[in-house]
């Protein structure tokens, strides 16, 4: 059998007719840019997320940049971000001449350590960007409390957790990306809701903020050739919107399939000594964009090589914390500054995880991991 990290072809085959019909409709109308499917998809995604506005854009990185631009942050303003995340989270901050301020993460949830945020707040701090990593939400209730007390914006990076639900202590439930001032997501093909190219979106409750984000994404114009602010050119093309609108109907089904696969891994790996299985937070559902284990005793790279030799792919997200990346290095933030992120960078290993996982594939993967540790 051929095991893959993601099976996009198998997923396509199950909805082939619907996808092909959606693509054909775009081809027939030739409305390739800003066609009606873009607005329709945005409306359907807003309904799914129970949020007032969805602003589509070209990709997830653009979504983060547009969010920070829409908030009116100025060069030199500080933005707090987790140090264990993909570079795009900090990249857009630096590109806008803002200052990324790193915070360590919690080992069991992999997300930003909320208890360490306040010690990083200064008079220049303007925003916090929590990342909902691997498929579940950061601990948003205490984070939002900190943001309110210090009058900070919150921009959620939801590229890996679309569809997850966060539950507050009073019982209120909100979708990932719809808790702070702005949520952002990516529709990269391997994401839980992925298109067949590139795409992204912002989730916004405030009408004026949503209008500003739309304007920024469209060259800073609300009326053609009238440019009110400096903007950019970032749009979700019609073909991708049509594909996403089909796949959105299956998002909950996809999440359930991923959870079923995660439970299969849990059961098969529960007694393996030397690994720590991914934990589920009590106040967030998990949509398992990744099934990420921690491999102890400095055996991660050996296990990865062993699996590769037995035709099992795996991935390391992320091998180098942001503070140790050359582009983001700062005096006084060398090795040892963020111990949890540094430990995770040496331990994390993501196993194959997708909507088309077969029991026999997982049994083979589990068997190889057991063999390695026995």
Instruction: Catalogue the active-site residues.
Output: 191
Nearest in space to 286 (alpha carbons), one of 163, 112, 131: 163
Backbone dihedral region for residue 106 (phi beyond 0: left; psi -120 to 50: alpha; all else: beta): beta
């Amino acid at each position: 059998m051929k095991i893959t990290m993601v099976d996009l072809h198998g997923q396509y085959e199950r909805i082939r007719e619907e996808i092909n019909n959606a693509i054909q409709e775009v081809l027939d109308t030739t409305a390739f840019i800003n066609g009606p499917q873009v607005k329709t998809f945005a409306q359907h995604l807003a309904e799914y997320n129970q949020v007032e506005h969805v602003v589509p854009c070209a990709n997830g990185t653009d979504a983060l940049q547009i969010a920070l631009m829409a908030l009116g942050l100025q060069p030199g303003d500080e933005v707090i971000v987790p140090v264990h995340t993909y570079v795009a989270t900090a990249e857009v901050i630096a590109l806008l001449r803002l200052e990324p301020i790193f915070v360590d993460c919690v080992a069991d949830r992999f997300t930003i350590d909320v208890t360490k945020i306040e010690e990083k707040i200064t008079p220049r701090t303007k925003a916090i960007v929590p990342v909902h990593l691997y498929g579940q939400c950061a601990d948003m209730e205490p984070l939002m409390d900190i943001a309110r007390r210090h009058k900070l914006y919150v921009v959620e990076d939801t590229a890996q957790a679309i569809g997850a639900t966060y539950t507050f202590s009073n019982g209120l439930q909100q979708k990932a990306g719809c808790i702070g001032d702005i949520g952002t997501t990516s529709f990269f093909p391997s994401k839980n809701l992925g298109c067949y190219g590139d795409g992204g979106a912002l989730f916004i409750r405030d009408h004026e903020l949503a209008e500003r984000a739309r304007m920024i994404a469209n060259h800073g114009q609300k009326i053609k050739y009238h440019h009110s602010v400096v903007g950019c050119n970032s749009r979700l093309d019609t073909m991708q919107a049509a594909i996403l609108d089909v796949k959105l109907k299956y998002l909950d089904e996809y999440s359930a399939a991923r959870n079923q696969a995660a439970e299969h891994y849990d059961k098969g790996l529960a007694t393996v000594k030397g690994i720590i299985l991914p934990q589920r937070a009590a106040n967030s559902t998990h949509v398992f964009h990744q099934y990420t284990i921690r491999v102890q005793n400095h055996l991660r790279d050996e296990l990865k090589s062993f699996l590769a030799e037995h035709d099992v792919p795996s991935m390391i997200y992320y091998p180098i914390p942001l503070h140790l990346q050359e582009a983001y290095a700062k005096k006084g933030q060398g090795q040892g500054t963020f111990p949890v992120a540094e430990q995770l960078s040496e331990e994390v290993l993501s196993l194959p995880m997708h909507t088309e996982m077969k029991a026999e594939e997982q049994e083979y993967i589990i068997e190889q991991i057991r063999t390695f540790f026995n």
